[in-house]
Amino acid sequence: MAKSDKKPGTRRDILNRLKSNGCSDATTLAEVLGVTPMAIRQHLYDLQSEGLVEARAEPRPVGRPAKLWYLTEAADRYFPDAHAELAVSLIDTIRSSLGENALQALVLERSRHQTVLYRNAMEDAPDLRRKLEALAEIRSREGYMAGVEETAEGLVFVENHCPICAAAKACTGLCAMELQVFADALGPGYDVSRTDHILAGARRCAYHVTERETVDG
């Protein structure tokens, strides 16, 4: 049976796939989503005409360069940003009315709450991977499109979307504390380092997590 060119939801599926996995060519998207490359290209051209995707050429050892598609900033509206205008307004109001110290106190209190919530979610997991999978589940419910990847260097916890991006730009402490929250929630037996950061221009946030070696004394 031939693949359907009119598969419902393909447009949104393309946006979700590019958001979660980064740039991709039409053939790969077609294989993953179960539609024809011609249909995928038509969707991509439609999305491009709306300013939601763009393409760049990537040289290949043999043949013509590959055409890789990626999301533009305009596509951010299709992904949640947790009441961005309200959040930024509240941050500005707290800063102007109560001062920077009060704002930082609120950030610290939020971080303490997150630490307890995430620690409780991970405490029964038997190993690091399952701890991170439990963390990814709860962060995904919060809108971060989180997951766990295994690389040559070990496990990487990734977040493909930041639902508080506007607020984090207005109050950098929200994002700065995230690394510490993950480290505190996992506990002293693990090291966490941020390797990619959305606010620094990366496609996603990523954290390399390793288990500390115990030293017999």
SS3 of 45-106: the string is: HHHHHCCCEEEEEECCCCCCCEEEEEECHHHHHHCCCCCHHHHHHHHHHHHHHHCHHHHHHH
Q: In the prediction, which pLDDT does 1 show? A: 37
Evaluate whether 203 touches 22 at the Cβ level (below 8 Å): yes
Structural domains for the chain:
10-78 (1.10.10.10), 84-211 (3.30.1380)
pLDDT digits (tens, 9 = 90+) for 129-158: 999 999 999 999 998 999 999 999 899 999
Q: In the prediction, which pLDDT does 7 show? A: 54
Pull the structure tokens for residue 98: 């109560």
Q: Is the pLDDT assigned to residue 3 strictly greater than 50?
A: no
Q: Is the pLDDT assigned to residue 98 strictly greater than 70?
A: yes
Q: In the prediction, which pLDDT does 144 show? A: 92
Cross-strand pairs, 158? 147, 206
* Mean pLDDT, rounded, for 174-180: 89
pLDDT digits (tens, 9 = 90+) for 55-69: 998 887 887 888 999
* Mean pLDDT, rounded, for 80-90: 74
Q: In the prediction, which pLDDT does 172 show? A: 80
- Tell me the average pLDDT of the chain: 88
Question: How many residues are present in the chain?
Answer: 217
Q: Is the pLDDT assigned to residue 89 strictly greater than 80?
A: yes
Q: In the prediction, which pLDDT does 8 show? A: 52
How many other C-beta atoms lie within 10 A of the C-beta of residue 1? 3
3-state helix, strand, coil in the chain (%, to 5): 55, 20, 30
